[in-house]
Amino acid sequence: MAEQKKVRHILSLSGGKDSAALAIYMRDRVPEMEYIFSDTQKELPETYEYLDRIASYLGKEVVRLNADIGFDHWYEMYGGMIPSNHRRWCTRALKLKPFEQYCGDQEVVNYVGLRAEENRGGYISHKSNITAVYPFKEDGLVLRDIEEILRTSGVGMPPYTQWGRTRSGCYFCFYQQKIEWVRLKETHPDLYDKAKAYEKPYEKTGNFFTWSQGESLSELEQPARMEHIKREHVIRIERQKSRNENVTLAKVFADAESAQEPDDDDEQGCLVCQL
Ligand code: SF4
């Protein structure tokens, strides 16, 4: 009789709430699950702490991919060109490829933390041996269920949400909103300065690329500009609140953040880093 092929079950943690909740949700349903984290080496310090907390709840190691090679290696390979949603080499090099290499040619079930109310597609592997599954969608779990899973497990929400950041991923991620840059500047001024240091003329063309659309981080950190961004944000939140009287506060903030997405013609890139 032919030997049955072993199927591996893999869940990729991003440091965000949805993949964390999914790991908790699946822990006892799929005991053989392998948990991984593709480390860009540019995550917030809080994210590394959060991953330790999740690993301790799971009672299993979270395997770190890119253990030796992080963002700066690829940044040099790309001639010092910072990524953007139109030049998104980082997701491919730092998230997708390491994941596919880790899977190899074996049959893999890839667990993705998209929620039931979400319509966006995931930036997932199209290799024929990898099959994506969406347990939250299949079981009809929405944002409040995810919050509940995190609360009752004791793992909690990602720590960066305490200072108003909504996304996991690199501290300099170009998907970050203006208000999140302001909060980064106020909470981690050292990381803001490190992000700023990447903004310099691209060596091949002399073009000056910025992380945030339409302005450099040196411009964005000017006190008057930061105050303006904060005021605009409060107005947006108030407007959103009056439209959403029956939803959770977290949803109000999430909606307000997505409402100001600047040029989000391809949000798939952030899914793999930020679910
Ligand atoms: S978090 Fe942002 S900058 Fe980092 S790899 Fe993902 S898309 Fe690129």
| pLDDT tens figures, 213-256 | 999 999 999 999 999 999 999 999 999 888 776 566 555 555 54
Cα 213 to Cα 9, 88, 219, 264, distances in angstroms? 38, 14, 12, 11
How far does the centroid of ligand 1 lie from the alpha carbon of residue 173, in Å?
Answer: 5
In this structure, the residue with its CA closest to atom 4 of ligand 1 is 170
Pocket test for ligand 1, best of 81, 84, 170, 210 (most atoms within 8 A of CB): 170
How far does the centroid of ligand 1 lie from the alpha carbon of residue 154, in Å?
Answer: 28
* Closest approach atom of ligand 1 to CA 273: 6
- Rounded to whole angstroms, the Cα distance separating 81 from 96 reads 19
Answer whether 12's CB lies under 8 Å from 37's CB.
yes
b or e along 41-65 (b: 16 or more beta carbons within 10 Å of the residue's beta carbon)?
A: ebbbebbeebbebbbeebeeebbeb
- Find the residues whose C-beta lies inside 6 A of ligand 1: 40, 83, 90-91, 94-95, 169-170, 173-175, 269-270, 273
| pLDDT tens figures, 9-58 | 999 999 999 999 999 999 999 999 999 999 999 999 999 999 999 999 99
| pLDDT tens figures, 53-95 | 999 999 999 999 987 889 999 999 988 899 998 888 999 899 9
Domains of the chain: 7-162 (3.40.50.620), 178-274 (no CATH)
How far does the centroid of ligand 1 lie from the alpha carbon of residue 215, in Å?
Answer: 19
